[in-house]
Amino acid sequence: MSDKYDFKPILYSTKLYNYLDEYNDNNGHSPKCTEILRKFIDHEDIYKFCISFRSNLDIFGSWSIAGLSLTQEEQCHYLNSWINNRLINLKFDTAHAKYTEIYQFIVEYLQEFNIEKKCKDIRFSLINKKDYERTKTLYDYALDYQKIIFHVTNYGCTQENQAYINNISNVYSTLKGECVQTEEKPYCVVLKYIKNVYGDEEISQLKCKRIYKNPSEVDLQINQLHADVDMLESQSQDGDLMDRETKDGVYHSPSSSIAVAIVLPLLGLILFFFILYRFTPHKLWMHLYLRKKRIISSTTHGEDESQNETFENTYQHMNWNFQKIRHHIGFNPL
């Protein structure tokens, strides 16, 4: 049974080869491919390969693979890899009796679509199966490196993932030593290309740090990741709701509560003195005392304005700090 957590089906290399394998028969390419089929009558699938091959040459430079953008140079590399892959699967390699004939067809088609002029730095060739498997491993590694890193970092590795990465690391280390002695091998060209793009040290460090023997462990990690995302989204929505309530006048800041707590007792105190002044025998005494101190129109008024200004400054300071904190801990979508 296939492992549903195996990352290989979602790798760009898998998508690319599936895209190039698409069989689109049409009248424009059919006559040429029928001619090839007559010469290789024992290989029925050669016709489908021919149709796919000519279709890929026809749209070369504008391949469209979901989530993947390739430069023209990269398309040159992967076209060469795909040609070898398909012919080896059809049992054509350097040991085949009609190797020279099939290679001649490949060269003619490349010239017909001016591919060799577009890929001046790429030598299109058919290589033996062992060398091609090594070359393809490096090609796929270069294409899938970022996606593998993301998967390994976020979900860890199943045992099948670990075996896949270990094979890449072993091939890379072996070929790096061989290519010190010679650069003529096709995989040495690919190795140099990969090192220029990613850097030797970064590629060498690709390893599985967490390995799961039970797929349910991966389920647990994925569920936890989703829960963390949901929590962050909920916090963001709560923050937005608080902002909206503030604008609508429903939300009351802490400074508003402080002001209410101070003003209400003050009003009660004023009312108490008014009753004493108006309805008790102390009216005359209070009248003389207040006139003497002259605080009805001066001191009390000044203190009230000073207090109000203090509250105003306090509210503005708290509001500024609150907005500043929200700015620093704002939700960033993953």
pLDDT tens for residues 96-114? 888 888 889 999 999 999 9
pLDDT above 70: residue 115? yes
Find the mean pLDDT for residues 147-158: 86
Q: What is the pLDDT of residues 265-276, one digit of tens each?
A: 676 667 656 555
Most confident of 106-110, 205-209, 329-333: 106-110
Domain borders along the chain are: 8-214, 216-328
Q: How far apart are CA 63 and CA 33, in angstroms?
A: 22
Sort 4 into a burial class: Cβ within 10 Å, 0-12 / 13-18 / 19+. Answer: exposed
pTM attached to this predicted model: 0.61
Find the mean pLDDT for residues 142-168: 87
pLDDT bucket at 81, cuts 50 / 70 / 90: very high
pLDDT above 50: residue 168? yes
Q: How do 211-212 and 157-158 pair as beta strands?
A: parallel
> Do the beta carbons of residue 218 and residue 158 sit within 8 Å?
yes
pLDDT above 50: residue 253? no
DSSP letter for 68, please: B
Joined tokens for residue 238: 């709560």
* Phi (first) and psi of residue 97, to 5 degrees: -65, -30
Report the chain's mean pLDDT, rounded to a whole number. Answer: 72
pLDDT above 80: residue 297? no
SS3 letters across 228-288: HHHHHHHHHHHHHHHHHHHHHCCCCCHHHHHHHHHHHHHHHHHHHHHHHHHHCCCHHHHHH
Find the distance separating the first CA and the last CA of the chain, reported in whole Å: 33
- Characterize 260-290 residue by residue with b for buried, 16 or more Cβ atoms within 10 angstroms of its Cβ, and e for exposed: eeeeeeeeeeeeeeeeeeeeeeeeeeeeeee
Q: How far apart are CA 166 and CA 168, in angstroms?
A: 5
Q: What is the pLDDT of residues 301-323, one digit of tens each?
A: 444 444 444 434 433 433 333 33
pLDDT above 90: residue 79? yes
Greater model confidence, 211 or 317? 211
